[in-house]
Structure 1
Amino acid sequence: MPRSSRSARPTGTTRPGARRRLPVLAACAAAAALVTGVGAPAYAADPAPLAPGTALSPTPENRPGFHPDRDFAGSTVAAHEGRDGGSPLAALDAAVQTPGMDVASYQGNVDWSTAAANGAQFAYVKATEGTSYTNPSFGQQYNGSYDAGLIRGAYHFALPGDSSGSAQANWFVDHGGGWSADGATLPPALDIEYNPYGASCYGLSRSAMVGWIGDFSTTVHNRTGRYPTIYTATNWWASCTGNYGGFGATNPLWIARYSSTVGTLPNGWGYQTFWQYADSGTFPGDQDLFNGATDRLSALALG
């Protein structure tokens, strides 16, 4: 599927801003310096959950309290798992890490040239939620990050209790979640975390949740040729999938943990591909590290 309405640039050309890079260590140090003491965003508080037995509408925007512009990668994580205020720089002693970010509609129009100048080299952008919502700032964020020289990808905020994995995957791919082998597009990503509208596991059994994720993953793969990156938190994964280990062989892991170390990973993954280590810092949105050097990031984009 085409990455955007613009035609792709010829192979071998340099994207605007591609040379505006700061050293990785300096960029990560700047990001880490702001982690300690970061407070929860004012918009992160959830409304009261729906009463037990309340039927969910098949069109989520009709649901009382529906707030997709407040749902983003990690919007529920700090409330459930907290932050320890540590610095991720210790991880740089063991491996090269490449700094990046993720954004959603709350960030609005992002100053991508400044983000690139400050060292950001990749970005994930929220595209969709459920089967009805699209990020109104997606075009500026997705295309703008590309124009500034970042490698970027799109992610979907999952609502597994509302509709099937295949239905949400098709909505996602049809509204920004595609992939192109241009070296500048990350695999599509599935954001699956604590339910912002009620019970953490969306009312699904562990086996049903595993089936839902598999349905989404297979559909994205069939549509794009790439298995989606899975964004999640270890505790949520253990609780809601029974610590299922079957996705590690195909799906890259994007782990959420606001700490100085990545900690225990979900079953099935021996390492993380991305780590969201803070929900505020140098870059707009959340702060992320790719587990490798920039050439490996490019290789992931190329598939």
Structure 2
Amino acid sequence: MSKKGQRVIRGTAFVLVLLFSTIIYRFFSSSSEEIIHSFDHPLFSKKYLVRGVDVSHHNSYINWSQLRKENITFVYLKSTEGTSHNDREYKKNYRLAREAGLRVGSYHFYTFGRDGQKQASHFIRHSTSESGDMIPAIDVEHSPFNRPCNDKESYSKMIRELRILENALFKHYGKRPVIYTNKECYRMYIKDNFRDNPLWICDLDNEPGSDYKNWVIWQFSHKGKIAGVEEIIDLNYYRHSFDDFKKMLLP
């Protein structure tokens, strides 16, 4: 066989191996992620009966009435970010979710190091939190605007302004705000600084363990699929019972 023919055979074999590997990878990836795509996982569906979603303007069309029929109890809506950004779908989502009978909470995306009082005032001014709504939440995570605070100066400023924001919301609403965070940011910023706040933990791999003493909500998927929502949506479990869930509501 000529060298050219050998090269063709080797090239064809390489393509086939690559294609086969891709198929196998996608198969096992989809299989391993299946448990985080719905509320039907056998280990958790009977353990956590209070279910919720969280939404921002990035989400596609939502039929809120249908969502309630799917036994969704609560929704957290993004309201504000930093000192000037408002989520453009917040007001509409709030009205429709409440009309559908869901318990509604509002959250603020914290911008690291920015003036905490101004961020609190921005959230309070633009958010709706009525009696029976859920305690407001602060989203603390890394993003293109929130880089890891690895040096002492940026870390101290980040924690200082977050404390100001947290305390301002506590004084205004009468309850400690929920803090949403993930494993990395919890260890870096929350664990040793905000021990009294209820936690909303994002962990796409594992159920929150004993390390998160105050966790009350577990966000277990960014790729949830549920009737009433055109595309994917974040899925959450509340840790305790329906009766205990009342503690999450504003008086």
TM-score class normalised by the smaller sequence: 0.7 to 0.9
Q: CA RMSD in A?
A: 2.6
- 1:89 shift after superposition: 4.5
> Is 1:279–2:222 an aligned residue pair?
yes
Distance 1:190 1:158 in 2: 6
Query: SS of the counterpart of 2:148?
Result: coil
CA deviations on 1:123-154 (whole Å, 9 max, x unpaired) are: 00000111111111111211111111111100
Flag the 1:141–1:292 CA change in 2: closer, same or farther, 3 A. Answer: same
Aligned to 2:102: 150
Amino acid corresponding to residue 136 of structure 2 in structure 1: P
Q: Is the 8 A contact 1:234 1:255 kept in 2?
A: yes
Q: Which has the higher helix share?
A: 2
- Identify which of 166, 175, 200 aligns with 1:217: 166
With normalisation by structure 1, the TM-score equals 0.63
Q: Is the 8 A contact 2:111 2:146 kept in 1?
A: no
CA deviations on 1:50-88 (whole Å, 9 max, x unpaired) are: xxxxxxxxxxxxxxxxxxxxxxxxxxxxxxxxx966556
Aligned to 2:43: 90
CA deviations on 1:218-271 (whole Å, 9 max, x unpaired) are: 1111222222110001212323x2x6424222x210001102422464xxx414
Q: Is the 8 A contact 1:187 1:226 kept in 2?
A: yes
Distance 1:171 1:122 in 2: 24
- 1:299 shift after superposition: 3.1
Aligned to 2:143: 195
Distance 2:172 2:150 in 1: 26
Percentage of identical aligned residues: 26
Q: Which runs of 5+ in 1 are unaligned?
A: 1-35, 39-82
With normalisation by structure 2, the TM-score equals 0.75
Task: Report 1:1-303 matches (<5 A).
Answer: 37=30, 86=35, 89-91=42-44, 95-161=47-113, 163-176=114-127, 178-180=128-130, 182-183=131-132, 185-197=133-145, 199-201=147-149, 205-239=154-188, 241=189, 244-249=191-196, 251-263=197-209, 265=211, 269-283=212-226, 284=229, 285-302=233-250
Q: Which runs of 5+ in 2 are unaligned?
A: 1-28
Aligned length in residues? 213
- Greater C-alpha Rg: 2
